[in-house]
Amino acid sequence: MFRQPIACCAGAPLILASIFATTNSSQTSDPLMSKTAPTHRRSPDANTLTRRASFDAKSFDSNARTFTAVISSGSAVKRRDPFDGSLYNEALAVTPSSVRLDRARSGVVPLLNSHRASTLDDQIGVVTDVRIEGGQLVADIRLSPSDAGKAVAAAIEAGTPPNISIGYVVHNMTEGVASRDAIPTHTATDWELLEVSLVPIPADPQTFIRSHKGNNMPIDESIEIDDDNEQETEYSKRNQPRAMSDRDARAAYDIAARAHLPAEFARQHIEQGVTLAQFRTLVFNKLADAADRTQTSSIRSDETFDNPNFLNRTIEDVLYARMAGKPVEGAAREMAGRTLLDLGTMVLQSRGERVSWSSRAQIADHVMQRSGGYHTTSDFPILLQGAGQRVLRDAYQAAETPLKLLARRRTAVDFRPMTSAQLSEAPQLLEVGEAGQIKYGSRSESKEVGSVKTYARLFSISRNALINDDLDAFGNSARDWGKSAAETEAGLLVALLTANNGDGPTLSDGNPVYKTTRGNKASVGSAITVDALGDGRQALRNMKGLDGKTPINAIPKHLVVGSAKETEAEQVLAAIAAAHVDDVNPFSGKMALHVEPRLAGNAWRLFADPSQVSSIVIAYLNDLAGPQLAVQEGWTTLGAEFRAVLDFGCWMEDWRGTYLNPGN
């Protein structure tokens, strides 16, 4: 089981909404709980809105350790968008079609101690059932028999029940339109309960809650905001010498988070009275000190979703499986049902960024942006690129031409012409006379020239596709460009063989590759027969080196035909159990058949193994075989643009390792 942060359990931010459970003797209640609607009130020491929910201690069963509570009324509360700082009201729709209750009803929603989920001791109970009553979300909860559970039970029996807070994930938010003098109200029309916590009442804006990793997190992103202005609170006035306003304090917490410093670092310096400018200097010095120390690898060996490297690899596996139409395997199975936005927000959160689900369009823009001035491996577009590269490579390899098997591969470092130089065979060694004199020997040379060229196309994934969870267009494009790259290579190789009416390109000696005077072309075309193959084999065996005298003994290993000659070639190369010696097929199992449908007509060719005598050369830039994907933020389109690039070249470097029969 791969452990994942609660905030990422469904690919959306965890929203902590404090619901203060208080008794109210003036309200009428049933035997289980009060039916009064929740009300909003101001905490005396904080500028937060609280949701008041009824909690009747009489609902507690000490023998079963169970109680019932209203955990959400869905009332609208004010929040701040972390992207642009704008305010909006968030409401939760509490209807059977809006709240996903299957998870809670299955008994897997825990009761936690102050939202902590780092160890098993943090769970002090479990939600056994959830239902909707009168527009409110009501939960039945059973306490654990642990010491912490017993302490909660004692508090309830004593008439001092704790406060309740919930953690939930929003799957879909309906955005409202603000009037001229009001802020918009966004309603969560599809949300899911992740956990219920027992928490103390937040006393002021500097109150901290525990995150799922056990680190202190400032509450300003999870509490409701009371005022549009940024006036200092009573807390600020009472706790001098604090020099930061509430706005500056929130900025300090944000700076600390982006610098991967604990919230405690920010809190201590805020209470010490430093200004925001001084705090920035402190953070800079802290980072500089860390850079001076011996660096250790940040890659964690544990394969959990807490490890950003493992999380990124898993997300890439999910994207690849979806685009390739393959089953999701391993850890990626836990994310198989996530949308593209879900996966993108998980990447953002893993690198410490906050995500607001108030606008899916804003999330899409944020997901497709760089994390800095350039794309890094922690960017979602890079994960898309990696998955797309794998889809492209699969399609490319499936469509590769068999002609590449006949070639010698080289690596180009740039686009300048490359020379295939060949020296003639070394002269024979001569006997050394009594005087001990050794004579010099000479060698002739030939060379052919070729170069790598670039072939490329652009395609993109739009913001709309990301919002609509449509990965098909991107996957199909990657697949098509993979096939296109293979087609490009095949077309260039076929063009070599069919140049000069099938005699091949003209070499440096002024003659085409195939010519009867070279001895590598049959004077009269014929069908593929044992006798015709024998003539071709003999021609290659008798080939001489550049000196015109030394046999190179080229052994034909490959028979290349077009689709018109495929069946004929298979019949000739087939293994036959011969009854007579004359019926034995001498070529059975000695040649590999390669069918290239782009080769039209009846001509057929023999090639020696390229490790012995290479006739064709293929080259890639910097040894990057096949097409490569690159990504940049969309300029001509909203989203991200991807570029498929193939740096490839091919040419003929020798005529001695190949034989042509024009066919009939």
pLDDT band for position 575 (cuts 50, 70, 90): low
The pLDDT assigned to 606 comes to: 97
Give me the mean pLDDT over the 258-265 stretch: 79
Sequence-distant (≥ 6) Cβ neighbours of residue 644 within 8 angstroms: 392, 456, 457, 458, 459, 478, 481, 482, 484, 485, 627, 628, 629
Between CA 366 and CA 357 the distance in angstroms is 11
The pLDDT assigned to 244 comes to: 83
pLDDT in tens, 161-187: 777 778 878 888 887 766 556 788 888
Are 269 and 285 in contact by the 8 Å Cβ rule? The answer is: no
C-alpha dist (Å) from residue 395 to 108, 400, 619 = 42, 9, 20
Are 660 and 605 in contact by the 8 Å Cβ rule? The answer is: yes
Q: Which structure tokens are listed for 278? A: 């001084």
SS (H, E, C) 309-351: HHHHHHHHHHHHHHHHCCCCCHHHHHHCCCCHHHHHHHHHHHC
Between CA 2 and CA 10 the distance in angstroms is 14
pLDDT in tens, 57-106: 567 888 888 888 888 887 777 776 654 557 778 888 899 999 988 888 88
Place of tokens 């009824």: 54
pLDDT in tens, 373-402: 444 444 788 888 888 889 989 999 999 999
Are 477 and 389 in contact by the 8 Å Cβ rule? The answer is: no
Give me the mean pLDDT over the 107-119 stretch: 80
Sequence-distant (≥ 6) Cβ neighbours of residue 218 within 8 angstroms: 206, 208, 250, 253, 263, 266, 267
Sequence-distant (≥ 6) Cβ neighbours of residue 448 within 8 angstroms: 419, 420, 507, 508, 651, 652, 653, 654
The pLDDT assigned to 200 comes to: 67
Q: Residue 634 pLDDT > 70, yes or no? A: no
Q: Which of 21-30, 35-44, 559-568 has the highest mean predicted lDDT (pLDDT)?
A: 559-568
Phi and psi for 127 in degrees, rounded to 5?
A: -85, 120
Beta-sheet pairing, 110-113 with 185-199: parallel
**Least confident interval from 52-61, 109-118, 550-559:** 52-61
**Percent residues over pLDDT 70 in the chain:** 74
Q: Which structure tokens are listed for 171? A: 């799957």
Between CA 567 and CA 561 the distance in angstroms is 10
pLDDT in tens, 609-632: 999 999 999 999 988 899 998 877
SS (H, E, C) 621-638: ECCCCCCEEEEEECCCCC
**Least confident interval from 84-98, 325-339, 356-370, 573-587:** 573-587
What's the mean pLDDT when you consider all of the chain?
76
The pLDDT assigned to 583 comes to: 56
Distance of CA 100 to the CA centre of its chain: 28
Are 528 and 467 in contact by the 8 Å Cβ rule? The answer is: no
Rg (CA), the chain: 37
Q: What is the largest CA-CA distance in the chain?
A: 129
**Least confident interval from 384-393, 482-491, 500-509:** 384-393
Give me the mean pLDDT over the 547-575 stretch: 89
* CA torsion through residues 495, 501, 504, 506, sign: negative
- The DSSP output letter for 37 is P
pLDDT in tens, 210-234: 223 333 333 333 333 333 333 333 3
**Percent residues over pLDDT 90 in the chain:** 25
Ramachandran class of 23: left when φ > 0, alpha when ψ lies in -120 to 50, beta otherwise: beta
The pLDDT assigned to 5 comes to: 32
**Least confident interval from 124-138, 422-436, 439-453:** 422-436
**Least confident interval from 26-30, 406-410, 631-635:** 26-30
The pLDDT assigned to 594 comes to: 95
Q: Residue 205 pLDDT > 70, yes or no? A: no
Between CA 258 and CA 268 the distance in angstroms is 17
The pLDDT assigned to 365 comes to: 78
Are 140 and 128 in contact by the 8 Å Cβ rule? The answer is: yes
The domains of the chain are located at 6-228, 229-295, 308-387, 510-616+651-661
Q: Residue 541 pLDDT > 60, yes or no? A: yes
Amino acid at 271: E
Sequence-distant (≥ 6) Cβ neighbours of residue 580 within 8 angstroms: none
In this prediction the pTM is 0.51
Ramachandran class of 185: left when φ > 0, alpha when ψ lies in -120 to 50, beta otherwise: beta
The pLDDT assigned to 502 comes to: 94
Between CA 355 and CA 345 the distance in angstroms is 7
Topology of the domain covering 510-616+651-661:
hypothetical protein PF0899 fold (3.30.2320)
Give me the mean pLDDT over the 235-241 stretch: 42
Sequence-distant (≥ 6) Cβ neighbours of residue 201 within 8 angstroms: 18, 20, 43, 50, 163
Q: How many CB atoms lie within 10 A of CB 278?
A: 14
Q: Residue 503 pLDDT > 90, yes or no? A: yes
- On the question of a cis peptide bond just before residue 110, with omega within 30 degrees of 0, the verdict is no
Give me the mean pLDDT over the 348-359 stretch: 77
The pLDDT assigned to 232 comes to: 39
